[in-house]
Amino acid sequence: MYVLMIIIFVVGYAAIAFEHNIHVDKAASALLTGVLCWTVLMIGGEAILGDSQALVAHGGGDVSHFIGAELKHHLAEIAEILFFLLGAMTIVELIDAHEGFSIVTDKITTTNKVKLLWILSIVTFFFSAALDNLTTSIVMAALLKKLIKDKEDLWFFAGVIVIAANAGGAWSPIGDVTTIMLWIGEQVTAGNIIVSIFIPSLLCILIPLGILTFTLKGNIERPEEVADIYDHEPVTNFEKRLVFFVGVGMLLFVPVFKTITHLPPYLGIMLGLGTLWLITEIIHGTKDDEHYSHLTVVGTLRQVDVPSVLFFLGILLAVHSLQTGGQLGAMAGILDDTFKGDIYVINVLIGLLSAIVDNVPLVAGAMGMYSMDVYPQDSVFWEFLAYCAGTGGSALIIGSAAGVAIMGILKIDFIWYLKKISWLALIGYFAGAAFYYFSNS
């Protein structure tokens, strides 16, 4: 049963990777993988868990009760991510419905691929640190659709945006869920993680951009203006600017809300959605519902990509089942035994593994395996873990929340990303890692 869970995960992972070859939507494969992994864990609980430390800490007892409790615990964590994703996607769709992104796209006049790639990547890098890489990737995906017509160019720019978003999130205490975990767990302090990881993270995106500066040629083609299918006056400049600035402002307010209230980010995003909902109801309340329904949250929710949310649910369920079943812990133990004492090699491998499985349980496992008595606050181990876990996921498109979000929104093919973007992500990843190593060894 222990091995069967791994087999199911690998087969499901392959089905997601070859989605276009087998003609099965990745959301279906992800959901089946997640549910089947938990089903096998529940049926074979005794054989899989045995006398595991988690079960002993739980007080022994009934295995099925323990697994049920673990599922509820993980579902609560997953729900926070899904509600955050749903809220952020709705805000972005609402801004888009009001043509708010034209405020930004009208300012970007260049069609040169290299110049445009540099502009968008640097904006993403710093925006990701101020917001987080997930929210930033959702916003940038919406912008890209307004700027680029050709699918191949759109996917390529989106792939580089994934690298930039993850690199930007790694050096900020609020930029990535793993840095948030390390910050809240007091393994790192906010000021130190910014100072220590900023340059490695910057190199992680600058090196790929430098390569593309000499290899990327030509200009992008802008999408044509879509004719308004609704029988009403266009959105006014006031409405456009109001929704754009309030929407972006509420997204930026999420980390502030978390810092002030110590409540989870999904509540901050729901506060933003509720605020924007109220504003749009007021400004459109007296208008014809038939013609203006697409400008309300109710109408916008119909445009939200629900399959992407379900894909996220399936992937996270599958990964958390392996965490509960002990497979991820065993993997961390093997790493520790094989490369004992070499914190650089261990962290680099954790980063690469985070491209295959979620970086959250990997970092959680590392936090549980290594004591702060051995590696005190702001030690090299924790700093390098933040960098590797934050940026290593870019190697595969489903290796990070930013990648999964963009994959769902823009329908990017897994194999295409593997061929076109993964090598750039790995070069940037190892460049930043090498800088950190030589700076601290």
Could you tell me which residue, 265 or 112, shows the higher pLDDT?
112
Calpha distance 139→419 (Å, rounded): 25
Q: From its phi and psi, is residue 341 left (phi > 0), alpha (psi between -120 and 50) or beta?
A: left
Q: Which of 71-85, 271-285, 353-367, 423-437 has the lowest mean pLDDT?
A: 353-367
**Above 60 in pLDDT, residue 231?**
no
Q: What's the average model confidence in pLDDT over 83-90? A: 83
Residue 230: pLDDT over 50: no
User: 346 pLDDT exceeds 50?
Assistant: yes
- pLDDT classification of 52: cutoffs 50, 70, 90: low
Instruction: Report the alpha-carbon distance of residue 280 to residue 421 in Å, rounded.
Output: 39
Q: What's the pLDDT at 361? A: 61
Q: Cβ(19)–Cβ(25) under 8 Å?
A: yes
326 backbone φψ class: left, alpha, beta (φ>0; ψ -120 to 50): left
Q: Which has the higher per-residue pLDDT, 39 or 340?
A: 39
Tens-place pLDDT, residues 133-154:
888 888 899 889 888 989 999 9
**Mean pLDDT, rounded, of the chain:** 84
The DSSP letter of residue 43 is: H
Q: What is the average per-residue pLDDT within 5-24?
A: 86
- Between 10-14, 346-350, 398-402, the lowest mean confidence (pLDDT) is in 398-402
Whether pLDDT at 9 is above 60: yes
51 has a pLDDT exceeding 60: no
Give pLDDT, residue 61.
Answer: 59
Q: Over range 376-384, report the average pLDDT.
A: 90
- Separation in Å, CA 240 to CA 138, 230, 232: 19, 17, 15
Residues above pLDDT 90, as percent of the chain: 31
Percent of the chain at pLDDT above 70?
Answer: 91
Range from 13-27, 50-64, 413-427 carrying the lowest mean pLDDT: 50-64
- Mean pLDDT over residues 266-286, rounded? 89
pLDDT at 5 over 80: yes
Per-residue pLDDT, 112? 92
429 in Cβ contact with 395 (< 8 Å): yes
- In this prediction, residues 393-417 reach a mean pLDDT of 87
* pLDDT at 57 > cutoff 90: no
∠ at Cα 302 (301, 305), nearest 5°?
A: 85
Is-contact 322 357, C-beta < 8 A? yes
Give the range among 34-43, 180-189, 265-274, 275-284 with minimum mean pLDDT.
180-189
Residue 360 has pLDDT above 70, yes or no: no
Q: What is the pLDDT of residue 225?
A: 64
State the pLDDT at residue 229. Answer: 44
Express each pLDDT in 294-329 by its tens digit. Answer: 788 888 887 777 887 888 788 888 888 888 888 877
DSSP 358: -
pLDDT at position 233: 54
CB 402 within 8 A of CB 137: yes
